[in-house]
């Protein structure tokens, strides 16, 4: 067994235009001061982290890595959640998702998709240059608007949707395979890969591609009423990343999983800061440790109530307290005896 690395922190929800969140160096100093050991870097802002430059320049990648290391931190992974979303967008969502792309690619879905695919390929090279072995992203979605089948989905629609999704992702998966990095899809409502079954549909279409792996985030499963512990049993061999994020689901006589179009505060299912929700993290850390998970435990802050800086401060301690330092001995070793074949045969009546 291996001890899970951490605590790490995903920077996406903290980056801003005011210190200490406005530069990579200053946010590293802040994170280290809270007790974090690693940072997961989003790649959507070139002023903060230039993805293309990191892909094309080993010197730049080394400078970024050196800056992070100088603050006593490691880069856990890079993230292309926003770009991954744009690999596959149903036209119904074009206007809503256009904001995820540079202005020059908006109102041009074909060019936007090509840009997103290139971004993922840059992420593969950048991850290699930084010495990373896993990468976080979303799958995008062509079918999400049909997730509840009313009106009935036409025959063959789901198969055709996943065939097209696989067609777009296979060149990306191959690019990651060439550099020895796993693509870890965050299984998430709004994506075509939103639960175990949809992930398996995708795996079938990409021929069980070895790099089509998983980012495990139990909060999204709480909101779906999915067994997030059994999920680990099913997919532990594919789980290469871990977002430590809490959530709660409190259905009422008026609303349940779908939330009635309410704000996050008013929804039955909502994300919470670590320790404030319902996720059984003791069992999760135990399962992942027993299954030899080799990655980082990375806090992602999303909470409808608590201030992010308080969530981060508490989250670093929460993760550190849940990481299990694995044992190098068996608890009953004190009663062990040397191998005695004759004794064993006697005990067995042989």
Six-digit token string for 176: 């990651």
Q: How confident is the model at residue 330 (pLDDT cuts 50, 70, 90)?
A: confident
Q: How confident is the model at residue 337 (pLDDT cuts 50, 70, 90)?
A: confident
**pLDDT number for residue 229:** 98
pTM over 0.85: yes
Q: Cα(250)–Cα(223) distance, rounded to whole angstroms?
A: 9
Torsion sign, CA atoms 139, 145, 151, 157: negative
Sign, Cα dihedral of 117, 104, 194, 246:
positive
133-186 pLDDT, tens per residue?
999 999 999 999 999 999 999 999 999 999 999 999 999 999 999 999 999 999
Q: What local confidence, expressed as pLDDT, does residue 14 receive?
A: 98
Domain 5-348 is of which CATH architecture?
A: Alpha-Beta Barrel (3.20)
Average pLDDT, the chain: 97
Average pLDDT rounded to a whole number, residues 246-250:
98
Task: From 22, 123, 143, 129, select the one nearest 78 (Cα to Cα).
Answer: 123
Is 80 exceeded by the pLDDT of residue 335?
no
Closest CA to 293 of 237, 227, 215, 245: 237
**Calpha distance 245→259 (Å, rounded):** 20
What pLDDT, on a 0 to 100 scale, did the predictor assign at position 331? 78
Residues 36 and 14: their CA atoms lie apart, in Å, by 14
Check pLDDT > 90 for residue 336.
no
Question: What is the pLDDT confidence band of residue 333, given thresholds at 50, 70 and 90?
Answer: confident
Reply yes or no: is the peptide bond before residue 151 cis, omega within 30 of 0.
yes
84-118 confidence digits (pLDDT tens): 999 999 999 999 999 999 999 999 999 999 999 99
| Higher per-residue confidence, 337 vs 169 | 169
Q: What was the pLDDT predicted at 51?
A: 98
Domain coordinates of the chain in residue numbers?
A: 5-348
Give the 3-state DSSP-derived string for the chain, with helices as H, strands as E and coil as C. CCCCEEEEEECCCCCCCCCCCCCHHHHHHHHHHHCCCEEEEECCCCCCCCHHHHHHCHHHHHHHHHHHHHCCCEEEEEEEHHHHHCCCECHHHHHHHHHHCCHHHCCCHHHHHHHHHHHHHHHHHHHHHHCCCEEEECCCECCHHHCCCCCCCCCCHHHHHHHHHHHHHHHHHHHHHHHCCEEEEECCCCCCCCCHHHHHHHHHHCCCCCCEEEEECCHHHHCCCCCHHHHHHHHCCCEEEEEECEEEECCCCCCCCCHHHCCHHHCCEEEECCCCCCCCHHHHHHHHHHCCCCCEEEECCCCCCCCHHHHHHHHHHHHHHHCCCCCCCCCCHHHCCCCCHHHHHHHHCC
Confidence of residue 339 (pLDDT cuts 50, 70, 90): confident
Place of tokens 């790099």: 211
Cβ atoms of 183 and 137 closer than 8 Å? yes
Q: Measured in whole angstroms, how far is the alpha carbon of residue 69 from the centre of its chain?
A: 22
Q: Is residue 334's pLDDT more than 80?
A: no
Average pLDDT score over residue span 289-312: 97
């Amino acid at each position: 067994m291996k001890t899970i690395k951490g605590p790490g922190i995903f920077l996406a929800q903290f980056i801003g235009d005011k210190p200490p969140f406005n530069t990579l160096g200053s946010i590293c100093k802040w994170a280290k001061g809270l007790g974090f050991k690693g940072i997961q870097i989003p790649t959507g802002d070139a002023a903060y982290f230039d993805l293309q430059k990191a892909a094309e320049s080993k010197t730049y990648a080394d400078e970024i890595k050196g800056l992070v290391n100088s603050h006593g931190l490691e880069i856990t992974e890079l993230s292309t959640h926003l770009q991954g979303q744009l690999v596959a967008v149903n036209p119904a969502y074009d206007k809503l998702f256009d904001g995820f792309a540079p202005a020059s690619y908006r109102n041009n879905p074909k060019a936007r998709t090509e840009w997103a695919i290139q971004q993922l390929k840059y992420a593969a090279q950048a991850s290699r240059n930084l010495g990373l072995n896993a990468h976080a992203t979303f799958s995008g979605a062509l079918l999400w608007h049909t997730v509840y089948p009313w009106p009935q989905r036409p025959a063959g629609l789901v198969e055709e949707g996943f065939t097209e999704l696989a067609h777009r992702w296979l060149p990306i998966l191959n690019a990651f395979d060439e550099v020895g990095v796993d693509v870890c899809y965050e299984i998430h409502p709004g994506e075509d890969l939103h639960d175990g079954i949809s992930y398996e549909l995708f795996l079938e279409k990409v021929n069980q591609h070895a790099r089509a792996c998983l980012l495990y985030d139990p909060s999204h499963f709480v909101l779906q009423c999915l067994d997030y512990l059994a999920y680990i049993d099913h997919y532990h061999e594919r789980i290469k990343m871990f977002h430590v994020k809490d959530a709660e689901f409190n259905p009422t006589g008026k609303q349940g999983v779908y939330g009635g179009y309410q704000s996050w505060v008013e929804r039955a299912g909502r994300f919470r800061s670590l320790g404030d929700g319902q996720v059984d993290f003791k069992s999760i850390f135990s399962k992942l440790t027993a299954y030899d998970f080799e990655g980082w435990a990375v806090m992602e802050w999303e909470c409808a109530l608590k201030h992010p800086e308080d969530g981060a401060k508490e989250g670093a301690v929460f993760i550190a307290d849940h990481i299990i330092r694995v044992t190098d001995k068996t608890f009953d070793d004190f009663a062990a005896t040397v191998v005695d074949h004759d004794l064993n045969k006697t005990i067995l009546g042989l």
